[in-house]
């Protein structure tokens, strides 16, 4: 059995004492798994992801319970320094003064890896996301969807073992979103462990091995749905399948369970 | 676009020529009301300025004033940047120092000129200090705002790749500051010149300010006006050079990109 790369036990996160954003969360993500955390806006899933990424410093948040990412406590930021974690934000957050290629190379530059292998890797990734002709552009010259693809390259270029995705497809039109789902499905599999936060049921079912449905704040695990479709997937074909429709319905029922019971 | 730019240039020159012609005409037509010895006369301003140039003093005075202004500008910018970054990063420490910075900035700096001359003598040093003291606060407060308003999402994006504090500073904070520093650059250039000239008014043995004081002392209004216009030209050239550097460093900003800028 593969080890848990991300693990939380009774994890409670609060910005103010007695006002938890995440409550008693138990989460096990094994190596190579693609997990979608599905919850409504404001339920605390982004806070959880930022905490796991080590972006919330002690003093910014009150932490109770236990959490480890690649065996290390996230608050200490050790897992970041080792380049073990990658993060794709809701907004591309590209450095506007660096050209597209240099933004893609950011993680490699930070590690002092200026080898031709690294450069070739970034060029190949740019090609695979369809941005080969735009490497000398500045981010402001690209559309939001293209900028988000550069953010994907930036995350993948230094080959982190754990990738955290924070609603990376929000604000993108449906056609571009479909292309990006396809890219993520084909670029993020194998040994990579993915924790994907979203409020979109079909995105979650399209990509994940397991969909964890969260309560509407503070975030608690409501139910887990196994997708059971091997990855990488042909996103377009999968979304048109009967299995996809049934899974989507099953997840929707879990999302709306409390409302339906009322 | 080229036609429009040429038209603007022609209109600008025409406006300048009109003002000069009106000035010359007023002084010639109403010499008692508009005494040329008080208000100057363009033709005599030109002839006096040519004499001043041929004497070789213009070059020496310009070098003296510009040396003080440029050194004051450079020192003011470097100190303003470094101390601005320091206090921008140490928010709590700055709250202790804040009233002192605000108080010092509120001081009428030209009033410091006699004290600086007393401390550093009639030479270049007192003018450099006065210029730097004027430039420092503009750059300092802009840098402080720049550091505090650095885009958190960009810092996070760099942090998450495992960047150290220094790498975050070099890759995000510093480039973010360019816009803030250049926002105050034009003002800083004017202030550096003002500092140098005011310092020369108070006590100097050369420089454009010193020469203006001598000229007004002997009622040579034409030379004083000539020097004043020359200082205007120097200031404008400095600001244009600064704008060119700004365009180069901030070329990534959409507002500076080519006119054919196309968003895909």
pLDDT tens profile A161-192: 899 999 998 878 888 888 889 888 888 777 88
B154 contacts A93? CB cut-off 8 A: yes
| B155 → chain A, closest CA residue | A93
* φ, ψ dihedrals at A88, nearest 5°: -115, 120
Kindly write down the DSSP assignment for every residue of A213-236, as one continuous string: EEPSSSB-EEEEEE----SS--HH
A140 contacts B252? CB cut-off 8 A: yes
* Closest residue by Cα to residue A85 from A100, A93, A94, A73: A73
Could you say which of A86, A96, A143 has the minimum Cβ distance to residue B252? A96
The CA distance from B149 to B166, in Å, is 18
B160 contacts A80? CB cut-off 8 A: yes
| A139 → chain B, closest CA residue | B252
The CA distance from A215 to A220, in Å, is 5
Contact list in A for residue B157 (CB cut-off 8 A) is 87, 89, 93-95, 106, 151, 154
Percent of chain A with pLDDT over 70: 95
Question: Rounded to a whole number, what is the distance in Å from the CA of B151 to chain A's nearest CA?
Answer: 9
| A140 → chain B, closest CA residue | B254
Domain map (residue ranges) of chain B: 1-34, 35-252
Quickly name the fold that domain B35-252 has: MetI-like fold (1.10.3720)
Could you say which of A91, A110, A151 has the minimum Cβ distance to residue B163? A110
Report the DSSP pairing between strands A210-214 and A4-16: unpaired
pTM of the model: 0.77
The CA distance from A73 to A67, in Å, is 6
Give the bridge partners for B253, in sequence order: none
* Closest residue by Cα to residue A183 from A236, A252, A248, A140: A236
The CA distance from B21 to B15, in Å, is 10
A146 contacts B158? CB cut-off 8 A: no
What residues contact residue B201 under an 8 Å CB cut-off, 6+ apart? B113, B209, B210, B212, B213
**Counting one residue from A and one from B, how many pairs have CB atoms under 8 Å apart?**
80
Residue A102's pLDDT band, with cuts at 50, 70 and 90, is very high
Contact list in B for residue A158 (CB cut-off 8 A) is 161
Asked whether the beta carbons of A32 and A192 are under 8 A apart, the reply is yes
pLDDT tens-digit profile, chain B (264 residues): 678 888 999 999 999 999 999 999 998 998 888 888 888 889 999 999 999 999 999 999 999 999 999 999 999 999 999 999 999 888 888 889 999 999 988 888 888 888 888 888 888 888 999 999 999 999 999 999 889 888 999 999 998 888 888 899 999 998 888 888 877 787 888 899 999 999 998 888 889 999 999 998 888 899 999 999 999 999 888 888 888 887 877 777 755 554 434 444
Could you say which of B153, B162, B262 has the minimum Cβ distance to residue A110? B162
Give the bridge partners for A28, in sequence order: A7
Residue A1's pLDDT band, with cuts at 50, 70 and 90, is very low
Residue A103 has a CB neighbour count (10 Å cut-off) of 26
């Amino acid at each position: 059995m593969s080890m848990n790369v991300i693990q939380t036990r009774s994890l409670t996160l609060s910005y103010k004492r007695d006002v938890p954003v995440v409550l008693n969360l138990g989460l096990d993500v094994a190596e190579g798994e693609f997990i979608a955390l599905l919850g409504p806006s404001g339920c605390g899933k982004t806070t959880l992801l930022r905490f796991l990424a080590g972006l919330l410093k002690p003093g910014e948040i009150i932490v109770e319970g236990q959490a480890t990412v690649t065996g290390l406590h996230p608050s200490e930021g050790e897992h970041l320094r080792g380049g073990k974690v990658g993060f794709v934000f809701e907004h591309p957050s590209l450095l506007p003064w660096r050209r597209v290629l240099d933004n893609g190379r950011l993680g490699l530059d930070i590690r002092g890896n200026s080898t031709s292998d690294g450069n070739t890797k970034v060029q190949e990734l740019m090609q695979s996301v369809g941005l080969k002709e735009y490497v000398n552009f500045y981010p402001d010259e690209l559309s939001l969807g293209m900028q988000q693809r550069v953010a994907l390259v930036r995350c993948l270029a230094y080959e982190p073992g754990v990738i955290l995705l924070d609603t990376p497809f929000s604000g993108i039109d449906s056609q571009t979103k479909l292309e990006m789902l396809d890219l993520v499905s084909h670029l993020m599999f194998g040994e990579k462990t993915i924790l994907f936060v979203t409020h979109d049921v079909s995105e979650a079912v399209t990509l994940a091995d397991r969909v964890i449905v969260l309560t509407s704040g503070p975030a608690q695990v409501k139910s887990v749905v196994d997708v059971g479709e091997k990855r990488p997937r042909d996103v377009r074909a999968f979304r048109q399948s009967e299995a996809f429709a049934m899974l989507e319905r099953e997840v929707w029922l879990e999302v709306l369970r409390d409302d339906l019971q009322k | 676009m080229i036609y429009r730019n040429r038209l603007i240039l022609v209109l600008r020159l025409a406006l300048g020529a009109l003002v000069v012609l009106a000035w010359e005409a007023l002084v010639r037509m109403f010499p008692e009301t508009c005494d040329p010895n008080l208000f100057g006369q363009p033709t005599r301003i030109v002839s006096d300025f040519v004499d001043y140039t041929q004497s070789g003093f213009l070059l020496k005075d310009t070098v003296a004033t510009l040396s003080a202004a440029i050194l004051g500008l450079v020192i003011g910018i470097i100190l303003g940047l470094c101390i601005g970054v320091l206090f921008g990063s140490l928010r709590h420490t700055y709250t202790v120092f804040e009233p002192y910075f605000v108080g010092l900035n509120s001081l009428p700096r030209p009033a410091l000129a006699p004290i600086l001359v007393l401390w550093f003598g009639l030479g270049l040093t007192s003018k450099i200090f006065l210029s730097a003291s004027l430039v420092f606060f503009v750059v300092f407060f802009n840098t402080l705002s720049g550091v505090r308003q650095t885009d958190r999402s960009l810092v996070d994006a760099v942090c998450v790749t495992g960047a150290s504090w220094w790498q975050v500073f070099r890759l995000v904070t510093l480039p973010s500051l360019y816009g803030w520093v250049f926002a105050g650059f034009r003002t800083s250039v004017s202030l550096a010149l003002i500092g140098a000239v005011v310092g020369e008014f108070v006590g100097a043995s050369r420089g454009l300010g010193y020469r203006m004081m001598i000229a007004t002392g002997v009622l040579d209004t034409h030379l004083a006006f000539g020097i004043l216009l020359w200082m205007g030209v120097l200031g404008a050239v400095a600001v244009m050079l600064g704008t060119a550097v700004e365009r180069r460093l901030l070329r990534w900003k959409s507002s500076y990109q080519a006119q054919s800028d196309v968003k895909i």
